[in-house]
Chain A
Amino acid sequence: MKPAPFDYVRADSVEGALSALAEQPEARVLAGGQSLIAMMNLRLLKPGCLIDINRLSELDYIRAEGDELAIGALTRHTAAATSPLVAEHCPLMTAAYGHIANRAVRNRGTVGGNLCHADPASENPAVAIASGATLVLTSLDGERRIAAEDFFLSLYETAAEQNELLTEIRIPKAPANQGWSFQEVSTRKGDFALVGVAATLDCPNGTCSDARVVAVGVGERAERLGAAETAIKGAVVDEAGLAAAAAAARDAVDPPSDFHADSEFRRDLVFTLTRRALGEAHGRCGKGG
């Protein structure tokens, strides 16, 4: 099992990578390779050219900038998972990393590559949507910013054009009083989610003022579950409120059946994980992150 031949370009600057991408319509970006090389080994993908961005240390950083957390696209999973800045300003991401892959994959895989790969069972797209992240896409024509919610289009498909490099993920710092939770069921620790649910919740005085609920493993992409959000907003967060929101979440999804879980089981998981996620998020509200 070997990948098909390809031309190899090792970028030594962002500009160099962008020029190479513009010149080679067949080219793909090679980041950690933890999804791309697997697909090439299986010959599911045969790109004619790879632009290796692993030397672009200028894209490997985690910084607090004003009211945002800025994560360079080449930041390795291991660095993001253990970052005190991420734990402080986007604890939802730290929680999600409890479910993402294994150590060897996390050592090489990158936050940017993970988002661009857009696996529908992947956790970070849900984190990005739930925390209202903005993705920075750069090409020779300049820079554009897109809300995470608009970035994930379908299975392995994003709004990034072939000539664009994802350079940065910008996440609004989580308000100190906001609760969060990432709940997941998978067949083994570190496997992709059968179903995962990310939630954030604001609950200033017993009543929920705002919430986000995003599910993965339920369709072709990470899905924001507006019906569950509407159900919990303005409600008292007690058993009844949680159950109502969880039921709304379950009714909003139509997950696929596959070898690991059928659609009915996945819908049950959406119910249970939404209830748990909102419940845990509620328990964390007002505790100052």
Chain B
Amino acid sequence: MDSVKIALTVNGRRHEREVEPRRLLSDFLREDLRLTGTHLACEHGVCGSCTILMNGQTARSCLTFAVMADGAEITTIEGLGSVENMHPLQAAFWEKHGLQCGFCTPGMLMSALELLRENPDASSEEIHQALAGNLCRCTGYQTIVEAVEAAAETMRGAER
């Protein structure tokens, strides 16, 4: 049960810490690094609210031990944009009412980010599928899908 030394990059900043092997990456981010934008609901993989990017790909931070992220590059919602400088996805969620309580939003955004990076022209059906692992108890999903469609349009425009 000895602590293990890990070094990882989170939102471009390098961190070195000692962690117990059972420390979940989600708790490491929220409690050790105080990055509380990553939300935790079910803590067993079903809701998606804890979704982060690990080496550029989405992962459930509640199903990852911090020791497994040794050497990894992590992006959390805090790395996506700021209030002053919102990512097109964040701006679109605001515009289109893609959130109500906002609990699911960080995970939604990370999943949508991976989708639009790989498939900038994602159809409504593809957006539905890509977000099927992220649960929302408030919105009924319609506005979330519209927000991702709107963000995709902005992001396509920005590339031209």
The residue in chain B whose Cβ has the minimal distance to the Cβ of A190 is B132
By the criterion CB–CB under 8 Å, are A54 and B44 in contact? no
The residue in chain A whose Cβ has the minimal distance to the Cβ of B51 is A104
Q: Which residues of B contact A38 (CB under 8 A)?
A: 44-45, 63
By the criterion CB–CB under 8 Å, are B4 and A189 in contact? no
Task: Tell me which of B9-17, B20-28, B76-84 binds A.
Answer: B20-28
Known: A33-B68, A105-B45. A8 touches B21 (CB 8 A): yes
By the criterion CB–CB under 8 Å, are B63 and A108 in contact? yes
By the criterion CB–CB under 8 Å, are B44 and A42 in contact? yes
By the criterion CB–CB under 8 Å, are B132 and A188 in contact? yes
The residue in chain A whose Cβ has the minimal distance to the Cβ of B70 is A10
CB of A52 within 8 Å of the partner chain: yes
CB of B104 within 8 Å of the partner chain: no
Task: Tell me which of B53-61, B88-96, B150-158 binds A.
Answer: B53-61
CB of A34 within 8 Å of the partner chain: yes
Known: A33-B63, A37-B64, A41-B24. A107 touches B58 (CB 8 A): yes
Instruction: Give CA–CA (A52, B21) in the complex, Å.
Output: 11
By the criterion CB–CB under 8 Å, are B24 and A52 in contact? no
CB of B127 within 8 Å of the partner chain: no
CB of A3 within 8 Å of the partner chain: yes
CB of B98 within 8 Å of the partner chain: no
CB of B62 within 8 Å of the partner chain: yes
Q: Which residues of A contact B57 (CB under 8 A)?
A: 78, 107
By the criterion CB–CB under 8 Å, are A103 and B1 in contact? no
Shortest Cβ gap from A279 to chain B (Å): 24
CB of B144 within 8 Å of the partner chain: no
Q: Which residues of B contact A50 (CB under 8 A)?
A: 21
Total A-B pairs, Cβ < 8 A: 90
By the criterion CB–CB under 8 Å, are B68 and A103 in contact? no
The B contact surface, by secondary structure, is mixed
The residue in chain B whose Cβ has the minimal distance to the Cβ of A7 is B1
Interface residues of B in 128-160 (CB under 8 A from A): 128-130, 132-134
CB of A265 within 8 Å of the partner chain: no
Shortest Cβ gap from B49 to chain A (Å): 11
Instruction: Give CA–CA (A50, B2) in the complex, Å.
Output: 13
By the criterion CB–CB under 8 Å, are A54 and B68 in contact? yes
Instruction: Give CA–CA (A41, B63) in the complex, Å.
Output: 8
By the criterion CB–CB under 8 Å, are B21 and A104 in contact? no
By the criterion CB–CB under 8 Å, are B48 and A102 in contact? yes
By the criterion CB–CB under 8 Å, are A1 and B64 in contact? no
By the criterion CB–CB under 8 Å, are A105 and B67 in contact? no
By the criterion CB–CB under 8 Å, are B22 and A104 in contact? no
Shortest Cβ gap from B1 to chain A (Å): 4
Q: Which residues of B contact A42 (CB under 8 A)?
A: 44
CB of A260 within 8 Å of the partner chain: no
By the criterion CB–CB under 8 Å, are A104 and B64 in contact? no
Instruction: Give CA–CA (A226, B54) in the complex, Å.
Output: 44
Known: A50-B21, A78-B57, A105-B133. A34 touches B1 (CB 8 A): no
Sample of 16 A–B contacts (CB below 8 Å)? A1-B43, A2-B27, A3-B22, A5-B21, A8-B67, A33-B68, A40-B22, A41-B43, A41-B44, A42-B44, A52-B68, A78-B57, A104-B48, A104-B133, A107-B54, A107-B58
Binding site for B on A (CB under 8 A): 1-8, 10, 30, 33-34, 37-38, 40-42, 50, 52, 54, 78, 101-105, 107-108, 188-190
Binding site for A on B (CB under 8 A): 1-2, 4, 20-22, 24, 27, 43-45, 48, 51, 54, 57-60, 62-65, 67-68, 111, 114-115, 128-130, 132-134
Given contacts A104-B48, A105-B63, could you give 17 more A-B pairs where the C-beta distance is less than 8 Å?
A: A2-B27, A3-B22, A6-B22, A7-B21, A30-B65, A30-B68, A33-B65, A38-B44, A38-B45, A41-B43, A41-B63, A102-B134, A103-B58, A103-B130, A103-B133, A107-B57, A108-B64
